[in-house]
Structure 1
């Protein structure tokens, strides 16, 4: 469903050279994998015999027993629609090969020998095994079947889109150009690595880096299954540290040094991988080089999608925000410095004497003001070069007004207060609009009046207008065209609303500001998001709450990420939203705001087609000069029809 495939890595209990015992443990894990609806299961390197048999690999009885065990496992799994990789030594062409046997419905689809054989430090593999490069035949008789053998095998599921499986073994990954690099170029989306990586101090971190980087470079899922504590401890110890990554994103790992069998599952998103490969136009360019040319034999197998079982994939409700505090703090610092450096460079280039910014007491203008102040500090110029302008209107509340003034005072910027009431009333009179009619004309008049004031003051002071609108507002078109939509540099243009909130809180908690300023920031965070273009209620509180009108920003930011970053369908976005938000929103509410997102996103493209300059800070941006180029008159019928069916 939705192009997910459940991939698992297994760490079985083993006894060295005991194929009967090892088969029992392997079958126990396979039974558990069946319960969990696993489609692709990877066992460690040489798990049939154990990796640490040493010179016992010269013993014919062990090789015969291993082949017999593979035959038995194939027979006992012939009813299973699961691709199972088992590590086994294989005798052929007068040599022994360290192989991965791939089984499906009782058939041995192929044998993939190891290419790079470690022969240094504690490793002596060249003593027992030959490299895949030394093979003579492309097919052999093995375990009662005629089986393709070679490192040039690619395994393709005929009925599951984008599912192509490539295999490399342990040390193959450690080489400067791993076989998986070429496998991915020729279509492999799931890479399997049966390994026997012994444990050393600090090695788990390196293992994480290696698997994460290769999955990222290959834009693939990478399942790495490593030998456990049942291996010989004569000179080395094995922990069974196994990993699953997808395009650099961690999906799961085993518990090191576990005494019992382990099975770690993850739902790999094949559609996501295919989407990323299409976008990264440099991904396939190496195939034009002669040294990248390869020929792969495609081994097709008939696999049905089947049931998904328990969804084994971390789906965060806040895709723009890291979960752990250390990563979050680093991310906030990096984003803040991107904004600061971009604005400082623009200020230098145009020789701006002032940074003119409208301060409303809301989230977006607060973040923009903090960046303006930091830019002045960065350039070594006084903060009074920042000219903060508060422009009370018909909807301004005392809370936001006081927060705006007090924050500017605490930061030491220049302050101007210009009411827009009289100018707006005059404009209503000039165009013949009744000010008692609180429609879009009433609202947008105020937004454009504020922008005109800022532009004129920037001319007056030799400055530039700093825009405050964020990425979420651009996605929804929640901005007045040629009003708050326009500026000379939009420093929040790449930051979604949920991240704006996190950044403001981060600044408040870093300790760089005095206590009074930090308290103001916390109150801004507690204030409902509003353009304040309609009069307050009878108690003087905000009467126009943005999220009541367009929907919760946490939902729209989630939709934005899944739709624009990966191009997912409405049905898949809804499914993911249900996973991420759990019981926070009923399905009907999710559908309501999803429909609203698609409607507004297509309608409001014209506002994004003429955006002012602004820095990209993350993987997603809607600037027509960066990530997003879309016709302003494109139809949303395909997407809306699917939403209606949901």
Structure 2
């Protein structure tokens, strides 16, 4: 006889401190789950207050308002006759915990605190929360009086326990616990738990989905069982984009896959699965059963409720699905675009302003906005009323319905080519053609009068007039003349962002988009407070290598032939005088390193935790066929010298979509100093000594051959 259960998991676009909106989305998800026949509903981590509250977790208001939302959920008729599993911060005996609150029919069944906190990379959970350290133990939690009046309970179980319903046993994991070496689901499964839930606040990084799916499927491959994963989605008010990917798995196979990138604020997945399939799967794994006979039991909270129906023989069960992964190029086209949409609609600005240089980075940024417009049109066409309402508010047009991405892009994106006497006709043409093909409102202007005016002030005060190196000037003059052009572009960008819609008789202002990639930021190959200084940067966490592949993808997928010329052109800042009308300056020559090399340096510095000497040692083997030890040493020393001299620029980086684990954004992610001894005397001496030893050994080997 089968025991079929219908369970629901969610991906919700929650917003930090948006208690009213978060409550509305939670109730909608519960209502959808019930309408689909689910009797257990799982939501994302800290969904009541929004995951990214950061230091707002210290505030008593955050705890108070979370309790108020919980009270509203308990009182709502929507939450009746379904087990609801919601996330919120809870203060227990003056200690703040990241918790799941599980309730049924106005009674709290269990408050389950997180046992392993995420405290690496972008995560600082140990700053705000304490992990529950008492494995398989609970104690009584005294409810505040406002909840006692609703639940008719003075105290509820608080701690590491599982739920025992009439027909099965359910255990909770919270995000990071799935990633730990000895996850709770291992012992819970050995103790007879058949349904595992995981509420996550897991952000998007390129190529990360594979790891997440592998962890879930492997959890049920070794131990059997049903696994539900819920996740936050959207921009929670910061640099991170939470990419959904809610899923339901059983016995090593996926039975429901949620969207990784979507403009839907509420997504609910359900699956109907047979508990007998779990039991038969486990029955033949003798090693698992032997381990189960020795496991320490979990406290069980008995629940007077069944997840299965008594008359379920004819109820169809869900079939396995093949997980569909996005390529990195697709991830760049979708993730940053969804992030931009959240920023735009929540800031209530009227669009974006993009300095479009005719180069790869600004073209990639334009393509992200165009991809956003495509997703908005698709969402509206599929009947998403919330997206349609947001578009109408943003554009202040109550009857407008977007249908064509190019037409919508013309309303939301203003691009501007800011020429100087050092700009080439080719970049001007490429920018104009791309703007025409994506439909942006395009402006062309010259910054030369502004540059001359600023230099005139300097000359009037000092009596000196700087000239470029090509005209006999010093390196200081050359750099200053480049920087003044770049900074004037930033001033003009903000002026046009604030007033260009006013000049066209439209309401609102525009968000300025930055276009610096993660590799340029890493080396500091940018002018501080130039047009890389913007409101937000959708490509600031993406490598040049990935951006090039993304632009190639956009050329083919979106039919944008203007991108072909941009792809084939050398990367250049165009801040130095032209030579016979042709570009004389390229990025890689200026940096002394290639963008491919910069990506490698970035990953070794951040992900591999390599300092100058260990990076040199690693690259000796990696580049053994292309570089001599001395060449490797020179590249490493050049990188660290430039990186440390320019590290101060990282303190002013535009908030950027976080897509790479070697992002140098020091505001939240890369906690390193910004004042260094840029000579690195001790470290570089160790490298030089090693180079001499290697060269001596190589010479000895040659002498032996002779």
Larger Rg: 1
Relative to the length of structure 2, the TM-score reads 0.42
Relative to the length of structure 1, the TM-score reads 0.46
